[in-house]
Each structure stands twice: as structure tokens, then as C-alpha cells.
Amino acid sequence: MTAQTASMHKTSILDGKAIARDVTDAVAQVSATFAQTHGRQPGLSVVLVGEDPASQVYVRNKGRMAAKCGFASQTHRLSADVAQPELMALVDQLNADPGVDGILVQLPLPPQIGADAVLRAIDPTKDVDGFHPVNAGLLASGDVDTPLLPCTPAGIMHMIRRVHGADLSGLSAVVIGRSTIVGRPIAQLLLAANATVTIAHSRTPDIASVSRAADILVAAVGRPQLVGRDWVKPGATVIDVGINRIEDVNLGTSNLVGDVDFEAVAPIAGAITPVPGGVGPMTIAMLMGNTLKAAEARMR
């Protein structure tokens, strides 16, 4: 970069809170029409097992946002020592309930519960997390319209479209991380949008140089500030999915940092998401969108 272009460079900070508000405002409008048309509100049921503090915060926020969107939402709280059959019976009950359009079982689940079996028991048409193998399989088959899409990847794509539009032809996308919740599905969505996609992970040699080839870089590994300045191509769009809580035992404080070293990377990125206030708020917004989509599909 010349001195002049460097001074002209302006990084776009992708404001997840504002973009999420646009999404939930639109959901609330359509939800009101839905209620008028069908004589009932879209229904979201959230299941929380145990007392994990982070999960309690997430579930409370989901309930609040559901109310803002005009949904009928319920939270089912089960004790941490609940047995698998009791949880499965609740899922069956929610599957059969015509007023329930979306079912979300908050993760993580306690060790005595087989999480995969529980997630597979959810009716795929009510699977607003998009974690059921039927939805994951449709997405892996290249169908982005039929399935309920996992919320964080769907939210990331919404932000990427703001920067690059819907067609990512000619752009190189690198996803760091291969989780079933973020890494794999975001790679599928980027591919469906015509990006040239690479999935890098803990066994990838020279991951920094792989990362540096990306026009669009998605970091989803859960390693605080892993992505430094030399991992990023100047002008790249950098999406930080990490939410790492760093405790300072001496100061008795804790703060959230992403998988990207924001201070180091922001000056050279074209666009970047902050942590907090980036991808996080988008996840809940897309959950609301999925609930509405599930409700409308049920009424057809």
C-alpha cells in the first residue's frame, strides 16, 4: 500500500447489534401479519437443562427477543440431574404441540445426557437451531432454501452479504475451524454463494499463510486472539466468531475477546466484526428468523 492509499483506507466495523436490529424489526413486522392471518403467534420453546451461567444468559436473551418479535415463547427448565427419558419425553411433547413452531435445546447438556440423541429427536421442521442431520444434510447437498439453517452461520452470511452482495464468485473464503455448529455449515453457505472455500483447522500446516490468502476470513476456533496481523490479507473481510472469556485473577475482572486480535487486525482489514457486538447478536436474530420461517412453513 502506498502512503496515500494507507491514509485513505477506512476499515468498516460491522455493527452486529445494528444489523441484528434490522433483522428482528423485519421479523416482528411479518410476525404481526402472521398473527392476524392465522389467529395465533409463532411459538418458540426453549429447553434449558441445569444452571450453566452462560446458558442462563443466552436463554433469557432468547426469551426477551422472542417477546419483542411477537412470538409466544416458553422456557422449560429441567434440573441438571434430569434423566434422558424425561428430556426425550419433553421433546416429544413439544414435537406434537401445534402451537410450538420452534424447539431449541440449549447446549451444553450435562454429561449423563446423550446430546446427539436429543438433537435428533427434535422434529426437523421445528429444529430452529438447524442442528438436526436432516437440515445439516440438506445444506451439505447444496440446498440453502429448504432447510432451517444454523443461526450463527446464517448470521455471518447476512453480514457478508452487506459487504460483498449475494454472489461471492471470484472471492477466496477461508474458514478456520471445522465444528458442526459453525465451521462446517458456514463453509457450505460460502460455497453455495460461489466463494472458493478452504477449511483450515488444528491439523493444517502453516495455517497463517492459508489464512492470509483469504478475501473473506471466518475465525471459529475458540482460541483467544489466534488471528494476528500477519494472518490477514490487507482489505480482507474478517468475521470473528470467537467468544473467549479471559479472567484476570489478580484484578478480579473478566472480559470477552474473540479469535482475532482486533487491535492488530482492524487497521488492515477492509471490514471486521468486533467482539462483543459482532456475530453474537446476529445469532439470536437469525433464531427469530428461523422460528418465523418454521411457523410459516407449518401453515402452508
Binding site for ligand GUN (CB under 6 A): 58, 104-107, 129, 151, 283
Which residue's C-alpha cell is 422449560? Answer: 76
CB of 55 to ligand GUN, least distance (A): 6
CA 257 to chain centroid: 17
In whole angstroms, give the CA distance from residue 35 to residue 31.
Answer: 6
- Our CA angle for 20, 109, 24, nearest 5°, is 15
Cβ closest to ligand GUN, residue 139 vs residue 232:
139
Identify residue 101 by its one-letter amino acid code: D
CB of 107 to ligand GUN, least distance (A): 4
Cβ closest to ligand GUN, residue 105 vs residue 265:
105
SS (H, E, C) 130-161: CCCHHHHHHHHCCCCCCCCCCHHHHHHHHHHH
Sort 166 into a burial class: Cβ within 10 Å, 0-12 / 13-18 / 19+. exposed
Which phi and psi (to 5°) does residue 240 adopt?
A: -105, 110
Closest CA to 126 of 153, 94, 93: 94
CA-to-CA separations, 68 to 12, 26, 64, 84, 166, in angstroms, rounded: 29, 11, 6, 32, 28
CB of 10 to ligand GUN, least distance (A): 32
- Identify the helix (H) or strand (E) that includes residue 53: helix 53-68
Cβ closest to ligand GUN, residue 181 vs residue 295:
181
CB of 128 to ligand GUN, least distance (A): 9
Cβ closest to ligand GUN, residue 62 vs residue 233:
62
CB of 8 to ligand GUN, least distance (A): 39
Cβ closest to ligand GUN, residue 118 vs residue 238:
118
CB of 48 to ligand GUN, least distance (A): 10
Checking DSSP bridges between strand 12-13 and strand 196-200, what pairing results, if any?
Answer: unpaired
Is the four-CA dihedral 107, 177, 188, 28 of positive or negative sign? positive
| Catalytic sites, residue numbers | 62, 106, 129
- Identify the helix (H) or strand (E) that includes residue 61: helix 53-68
Cβ closest to ligand GUN, residue 105 vs residue 113:
105
